[in-house]
């Protein structure tokens, strides 16, 4: 009588069953991936053809500026181009991937929100009381322009971050009325791409929220001005790239404040901070900058917390209050100075 090895037969059967199971799983996985690839929408480029609302199909052409009317308005994943002589206004919240405004073109947000998942190129005009929300991206958002722009309202809520990389041939002025940093790094200039020819102004109060970063990352030939209060919230970051220089960071607002509520901050760039009159400057756990120049109008301004000036500090009348420390490599007083703490 032939002896049957049940263990061997069971092992062979199990191996065959597992092999078929793996083959089935692989087949359905490839089928699912293939279905997703086939179903992925192809980006459509929309060109302006009428001076009307964003949400109307006849405002746009998918052929050319002024071309045949499109069957739909731009939506998620599409590229939007506003040409010379055209003015487009939002009538509701909208979304697109890239927004390109040519010279002579106008985009008005109408008080609504435009979500931009990609880049913004504005060589025309932007206006409105709404906002552009940089969100849901797949790479860092790039904001660029070759002319003067005003009244941007940006919200950065994307861990990919955003960068201003204006590459005009001369200094241009960009005014950001409101900047809300919720997540990601907001970079001024790109350390890989030379000088940014840009004079940048932040009009309203500006807060770097928890998890967000404000970074001076390139050589800026124009001044950066903060007209209202600046606050680094707990968990926020304020920094700069070593060896890069912005002409100056100006804080001219009378009775305004610069407050660090986060951990010690280091701006490693070679930029100069210029503060104004009757201000409250709170270094908190530490605020390290390259130069401080307060020689023109620093009267009645108080500095608290820890401030570190790595190169040179020039001051007129002011006060370093009790409970804080001021470390200056080179100190040039231009008026009366009261120091009630470590100096």
* pLDDT value at 4 more than 60: no
Identify the CA nearest to 250 among candidates 229, 231, 230, 224. Answer: 224
Distance CA(320)–CA(312), nearest Å, equals: 16
Fill in the DSSP letter of residue 153: E
DSSP E strands, 169-229: 172-188, 195-196, 198-202, 206-208, 212-216, 219-220, 224-226
In degrees, to the nearest 5, what angle opens at C-alpha 130 toward C-alphas 126 and 134?
80
Are the C-beta atoms of 308 and 331 separated by less than 8 Å? no
Q: Which residues contact 303 (CB under 8 A, 6 or more apart)?
A: 281, 283, 318, 319, 320, 321, 324, 326
Query: Each residue of 18-35: pLDDT tens digit?
Result: 455 445 444 445 444 444
Distance CA(231)–CA(233), nearest Å, equals: 6
Task: Name, of 225-229, 277-281, 321-325, the range with top average pLDDT.
Answer: 225-229
Can you tell me whether residue 32 is helix, strand or coil?
A: helix
**Total Cβ atoms within 10 A of residue 205:** 16
Please tell me the least confidently modeled range out of 1-15, 157-171, 301-315.
1-15
Can you tell me whether residue 281 is helix, strand or coil?
A: strand
Are the C-beta atoms of 48 and 58 separated by less than 8 Å? no
* pLDDT value at 9 more than 90: no
Please tell me the least confidently modeled range out of 86-95, 121-130, 144-153, 215-224.
144-153
pLDDT band at 240 (very low <50, low <70, confident <90, very high): very high
pLDDT band at 336 (very low <50, low <70, confident <90, very high): low
Query: Per-residue b/e over 98-115, b at no fewer than 16 CB within 10 Å?
Result: bbbbbeebbbbbbebbbb
pTM as predicted: 0.80
* pLDDT value at 321 more than 70: no
Are the C-beta atoms of 224 and 248 separated by less than 8 Å? yes
Mean predicted confidence (pLDDT) in 285-304 = 82
For residue 77, CA distances in Å to 102, 135, 138, 213, 322 come to: 20, 13, 11, 27, 55
The predicted structure's pLDDT at residue 300: 74
Structure tokens at 103: 């010279």
Are the C-beta atoms of 96 and 80 separated by less than 8 Å? yes
pLDDT band at 298 (very low <50, low <70, confident <90, very high): low
Query: Per-residue b/e over 211-230, b at no fewer than 16 CB within 10 Å?
Result: ebbbbbbbbbbbbbbbbebb
Mean predicted confidence (pLDDT) in 266-290 = 91
The predicted structure's pLDDT at residue 11: 43
Query: Each residue of 162-213: pLDDT tens digit?
Result: 988 766 666 667 788 888 889 999 988 765 565 665 678 888 998 999 999 9
Distance CA(223)–CA(111), nearest Å, equals: 29
Please tell me the least confidently modeled range out of 114-118, 152-156, 170-174.
170-174
For residue 197, CA distances in Å to 165, 171, 172 come to: 9, 5, 6
The predicted structure's pLDDT at residue 191: 59
* pLDDT value at 51 more than 90: yes
**Arithmetic mean of pLDDT over the chain:** 81
Query: Each residue of 66-80: pLDDT tens digit?
Result: 999 999 999 999 999
Distance CA(120)–CA(111), nearest Å, equals: 18
Residue count (the chain): 343
The predicted structure's pLDDT at residue 44: 96
pLDDT band at 12 (very low <50, low <70, confident <90, very high): very low
The predicted structure's pLDDT at residue 18: 43
The predicted structure's pLDDT at residue 279: 87
């Amino acid at each position: 009588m032939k002896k049957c090895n049940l263990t061997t037969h069971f092992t062979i059967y199990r191996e065959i069953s597992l092999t078929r199971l793996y083959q089935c799983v692989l087949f359905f996985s490839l089928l699912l991936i293939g279905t997703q690839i086939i179903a992925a929408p192809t980006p459509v480029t929309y060109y302006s053809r009428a001076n009307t609302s964003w949400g109307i199909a006849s405002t746009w052409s998918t052929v050319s500026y002024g071309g045949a009317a499109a069957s739909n308005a731009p939506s998620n994943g599409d590229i939007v181009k506003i040409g010379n002589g055209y003015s487009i206004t939002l009538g509701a919240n909208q979304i697109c991937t890239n927004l390109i405004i040519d010279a002579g073109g106008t985009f008005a947000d109408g008080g609504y929100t435009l979500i931009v998942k990609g880049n913004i190129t504005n060589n025309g005009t932007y206006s409105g009381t709404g906002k552009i929300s940089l969100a849901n991206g797949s790479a860092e958002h790039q904001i660029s322009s070759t002319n003067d722009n005003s009244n941007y309202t940006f919200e950065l809520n994307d861990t990919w971050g955003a960068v201003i990389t204006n590459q005009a041939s001369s200094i241009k002025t960009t005014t950001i009325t409101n900047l809300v940093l919720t997540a990601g790094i907001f970079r001024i200039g790109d350390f890989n791409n030379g000088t940014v020819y840009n004079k940048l102004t932040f009009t309203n109060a500006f807060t770097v929220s928890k998890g967000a970063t404000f970074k001076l990352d390139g050589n800026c030939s124009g001044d950066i001005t903060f007209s209202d209060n600046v606050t680094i919230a707990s968990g926020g970051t304020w920094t700069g790239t070593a060896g890069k220089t912005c002409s100056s960071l100006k804080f001219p607002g009378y009775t305004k404040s610069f407050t660090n509520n986060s951990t010690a901050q280091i701006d490693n760039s070679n930029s100069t901070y210029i503060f104004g009159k009757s201000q409250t400057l709170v270094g908190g756990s530490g605020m390290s900058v390259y130069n401080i120049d307060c020689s023109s109008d620093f009267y009645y301004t108080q500095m608290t917390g820890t401030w570190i000036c790595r190169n040179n500090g020039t001051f007129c009348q002011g006060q370093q209050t009790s409970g804080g420390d001021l470390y200056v490599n080179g100190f040039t007083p231009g008026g009366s100075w009261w120091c009630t703490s470590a100096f």
